[in-house]
Amino acid sequence: MLRRLIDRMGRIAPADGGGDRFVLEPAIGAFDRVYGGQSLAEALIAAARTVGEGRRLNSAHCYFLRLGDPRKPVVYVVDRLRDTRSFSVRQVRAEQDGQAIITATFSFAASSGGIEHQRPSPDAPLPEEIPSRDVALLALHGGDLPRNSGVPWPIDLRHVDQPPWEKRIGDGRHRVWMRADEELPDDPLLHACLLLYASDLTMADAVTNQHPIVWEDLIAARGLFGASLDHAFWLHVPARIDQWLLHVQESTRAADGRGFTTGRFYDRSGVLVASVAQEIFIKTISGETA
């Protein structure tokens, strides 16, 4: 699964007609819609193609506007908003059939010195002490996995707190160890893309675990519908996604059909490498918010 995702991102190619336009041919996947984190990572690839060497991603801000269709190509249109000695800023519009499905702004920064501080990493069991998502689901369901639950992920997820398939009320805190499921080359852009992809995987769980909502019902739209509305990501220092990262998430508020979550990524030595914020839309199929 990871190799297929990487190969897909590598197939982003210049579109006909020149300019800062890139195209990605249709994907073959298990889901019936395009995963938001995947589109965001692909938009980052397109943006980075227009940025010179010596600059790395420092932030991304995205709105998810429409559900993407995995059977259709995606065109990424890049607008060069700013280039200075310290920063390059790019806006990317991902389109299908001439309509935007996401719009994202990426900032790339040159390395520089300055002040430094961080919030300490919270205590958590080691990832080796926690079963993987696949092992936990197999133990729970055996061979009779719910729809979409058995789809392999390119990221190994190990839930410290309440996993999203348990229908019990949590406290809004959600800690997950994450790591790519194979070793990766020393390519900072690849690691940034996959970390951005991973940052969207479990943000909704901190919202839903405060309510009697089961994860597979949300994915299968069985009585519920949920979707990411926006996503913000800050990469403070370079990080490797093929080494364990602890994603500490907290949902402080849900109201009017929307839930808000923040997250912090720490490496195993306790360094805060990235921060995330997201709002999701969630409602029952009947129209009442969950």
For 212-246, how does the pLDDT look when each residue is reduced to its tens digit (9 = 90+)? 776 666 555 555 677 899 999 999 999 999 999 99
The tokens 């061979």 sit on which residue?
A: 143
Q: Is 7 a catalytic residue?
A: no
Average pLDDT over residues 203-216: 80
Q: Which CATH architecture has domain 130-290?
A: Roll (3.10)
Percent of the chain with pLDDT over 70: 85
Residue 24 or 224, more confident: 24
Cα separation, 76 vs 90, whole angstroms: 12
* Residue range(s) in the chain whose domain bears CATH number 3.10.129.10: 1-112, 130-290
202 pLDDT tier (thresholds 50, 70, 90)? very high
Which one from 200, 205, 217, 230 is the annotated catalytic residue? 200
**Structure confidence at residue 189 (pLDDT):** 97
Judge whether 267 and 190 are in contact, CB under 8 Å. no
Q: Is 200 a catalytic residue?
A: yes
Q: What pLDDT, in 10s, does the model give residues 163-188?
A: 776 666 777 789 999 999 999 999 99
Tokens of 202: 């479990």
254: number of Cβ within 10 Å:
21
**Structure confidence at residue 290 (pLDDT):** 44
The whole-model pTM stands at 0.90
Q: Is 256 a catalytic residue?
A: no
Which of 115-119, 131-135, 152-156 is predicted most confidently? 115-119
Which one from 88, 149, 199, 228 is the annotated catalytic residue? 228
Q: What is the CATH number of domain 1-112?
A: 3.10.129.10
**Structure confidence at residue 227 (pLDDT):** 86
**Structure confidence at residue 136 (pLDDT):** 76
